[in-house]
Structure 1
Amino acid sequence: MTPKDQEKIDQALARAIYSSGTPLSINENAYWQEAFTLLRPSYHLPSRHSLSKPLLESEYERIMQYVQGKINKALCLAVLTDGWTNVQGEGIIKFVVIPPQTVFYRSIETGENRHTAEYISSKICEVLQKIGSGKVFALLTDNESNMKAAWEIIIDKYPHITAIGCASHGLNLLLNDIMKLDTPQKIYRRAKEVTKHVKATHVVAAVFKKKHEAKNVKNKIVTQTLE
C-alpha cells in the first residue's frame, strides 16, 4: 500500500460516509474493521479525527471547486433561497444555484438575527455579488411577506433580476386555505378516525394489509399486461 493508494482510498471512503450520512464512528466497529482487513489487509482505516477534520475539509474544497466551476461556465443563472430551522432549532438561510444543473451553494446561520426583509436581502446581495450578479436573471423564494419585501430591495438594486415566488409553496398555502373550509375538515377528521382505528386494531390492520398487498399485485399484473 503506497501513501498515494492510502490517500485515494481514504478520500473515497470519506466521500461514501459523508454522502450517505453514515456515523463517523463506523471505522471503530470491529466488524467493519474485519471486513476492510479482508478486502485490503494493508489498508489502515482513517481515524474519526481524520474523517471530521482534514478529510472533510478536503472534500468540502473539492465540492466547492466543482460548484464554482459550474457557475463560472454558466452564461446565466437562477438563485433559489429559503429560510429554515435545522434540527437544533437554529435559523439558517440556504442558497441553491441553477446554472442550469442545480447545485447547493451555501447556507448561512442567522443566529440572533431575525429574518427581516432587510437582513434577507443583504444576505442575498452577498451571494449575488460573489457569484456575479450580472449572470443572475431570476431569484426564486417562498411567498412569505418578508421574502416579498426583500424582492423589492433586490430588484431596486438589480433591475435585470426577476423575483419569482415558489409555485409549490403557493400551492401549499392554497391547500391550507381549502382545508379550513367545513367540508374538507369533515373529510379530514373522518379519514383520521379511520386511520387511527386501523392502526390501533391488529386484526383490522392485518386485513387492511392483506387487501392492500392483493391490490398492488393486481395493479402490477394489469400494468405488465398493458405494457
Structure 2
Amino acid sequence: MAAARRGASSARAGATSMRDLMDLFVKKFETAIARNKREKLRQQNIKEACNKEALRRVNRYIARWLYQAGIPLNPVKLKSFHDMLWAVGSFCPNLPAPRYHALRVLLLNEELEYTKGLLKGHKEQRKKYGCSIISDAWTDKRQRSIINFLVNSPAGTIFLKSIDASDYVKTGVKLFELLNDVVEKIGEQNVVQVVTDNGSNYALAGKLLMEKRLNLFWTPCAAHYLDLMLEDIEKLSFIQKTIKRAISLVSFTYSHSSMLAVLRHFTNDKELNHVKYTLKIMGPLVQVLRLVDGEKKPPIGYIYEAIEKKN
C-alpha cells in the first residue's frame, strides 16, 4: 500500500510538474505574441508618423514651387496634375527634371500631336451630328475687344481661335466676314448654327451669314438675352429705387452690429419696401440665367422641358 501511495504521489507530482511546464510555455508564448504585437504596433506608428512627415515635406515643396512661380492654385484640380504626381512617384527617387529645351521644343511638339489626336473624335462628331460655332466677345484690361471662337458638338466644346477685333468689332459687315471664315474652316455642311451676342452689329452679321449660308441658323445667346432683360427690369423706377434703398439699408445695417442684432430680433422676415416683389420678378430669370450659363451640362433641352411644364 505504501508503495502504491508513493507511486500515486510521484505520478501526481509528475503531472503537476508537467502542467507547470505547459503553463510556463503557454505564458511565454502568449508573452512573445503580445510583445510581437506591441513591436508591430510601434513600427506601424513610426511608419505612419514618417509617412505623414514625408507627405508634409512633399506638399511643402509642391506649394513652394507654385508660390514662387506665381501659378494659380486651380490647376491642382486638373486630372493631368494628379497624373503627373503619380508618374513622378512611380519612377524612382532620382528622377531627373526635364530640360528647358525639351520643354520648349520636343515635349511641346509631342503634346501638340497628342492634342491633335484628341481632336479627331470631335471632328468625327461634327461630321456625324453637326456642330455649333460660338462667338464669345469680351474686353481685356487694355480695353481691347477680343473675340473667342469655339466649336460645340456632342463630343464637347473646344477652343478654335482668338482674335483682336478692336478695329472692327462694332461693324456688322466685318463681323460677318469673321464668322463666315470660321464656317468655311469648319465646313458649312457640318455647321448647324452660329451663336453670338444680341447686339445690333451681331444681328446684322447673323442676317448676312444666313443669307449666304442657307443651311445654318444664327442664334442669339440666351444668357445675353437674360442679362438684357434683367438690365431693362432694373431700369423700372420703383425697382431701381428699391434696389438703391436695399443697398443703403444693407450697408448701414451690417456696419453696425447692434443695429443688425435689433433688426434680426424684431423683423421676423417682414417685407422691406418692395424687396419681396422685386425678388419675385428677378428670381426666376436669375435661375434660368444660371442654368443657361452653366458648364456642367447642355441646358437648352432642360429649358424647353421647363417651359413645357409651365405651359
Quote how far apart the aligned CAs of 1:145 are.
0.6
Instruction: Classify the secondary structure of the residue corresponding to 2:218.
Output: strand
Three-state SS of the structure 2 residue aligned to 1:113 is coil
The question of 1:148 aligning with 2:203 is answered: yes
Residue 101 of structure 1: which of 149, 155, 166 is its match? Answer: 155
Letter aligned with residue 119 of structure 2:
V
User: Which residue in 2 is equivalent to 1:6?
Assistant: none
Residue type at the aligned position of 2:93: P
Aligned to 2:114: 62
Q: 2:174 aligns with which of 115, 119, 125?
A: 119
Structure 1: distance between partners of 2:251 and 2:103:
44
Question: 1:89 & 1:59 partners in 2: Cα distance?
Answer: 33
Pick closer, same or farther for the CA change 1:67–1:105 going to 2, 3 Å. farther
Q: State which drifts further: 50-59 or 120-129.
A: 50-59
1:86 and 2:140 equivalent?
Answer: yes
Map 1:196-211 → 2, pairs under 5 A: 196-201=251-256
Name the counterpart of 1:184: 239
RMSD over aligned Cα, in angstroms?
3.5
> How high is the TM-score relative to the length of structure 1?
0.64
- Is the 8 Å Cα contact of residues 168 and 174 (structure 2) preserved in structure 1? yes
Tell me the equivalent position of 2:188: 133
Q: With structure 2 as the length reference, what TM-score do the two structures score?
A: 0.49
User: CA shift at 1:195, angstroms?
Assistant: 2.8
Q: Determine if contact 2:133/2:151 at 8 Å carries over to the other structure.
A: yes
Tell me how far apart the structure 2 counterparts of residues 89 and 65 of structure 1 sit (CA, whole Å).
Answer: 36
Q: Identify which of structures 1 and 2 has the higher relative contact order when contacts are C-alpha pairs closer than 8 Å and 6+ apart.
A: 1
Does the C-alpha gap of structure 1 residues 187 and 55 become closer, same or farther in structure 2, counting only changes over 3 Å? Answer: farther
* Cα 1:57/1:110, change in 2 over 3 Å: farther
Instruction: Indicate how the Cα distance of structure 1 residues 194 and 176 shifts in structure 2: closer, same or farther if over 3 A, else same.
Output: same
Q: What percentage of residue pairs aligned between the two structures are identical?
A: 25
Asked if the contact 2:122–2:156 (Cα under 8 Å) also holds between the matched residues in 1, the reply is no
Structure 1 residue identity aligned to 2:243 = Y
Following superposition, the deviation at residue 129 of structure 1 comes to: 1.5
What is the alpha-carbon distance in structure 1 between the residues aligned to residue 105 and residue 253 of structure 2?
A: 49
Alpha-carbon distance in 2 for matches of 1:49, 1:19: 26
Higher helix fraction: Structure 1 or Structure 2?
2
C-alpha distance in 1 between matches for 2:155 and 2:221? 18
The gaps in structure 1 that reach 5 residues or longer are 1-16, 23-35, 212-227
**Mapped pair 1:72 → 2:134:** no
Q: How many Å separate the matches in 1 of 2:252 and 2:200? A: 40
- How far apart are residue 102 of structure 1 and its match? 2.9
* Equivalent residue runs for 1:10-49 within 5 Å: 20-21=74-75, 40-46=92-98
Q: Please give the secondary structure, in 2, of the residue aligned with 1:171.
A: helix
Q: CA deviation at 1:204?
A: 6.2
Quick check: 1:70–1:99 contact (8 Å CA) kept in 2? yes
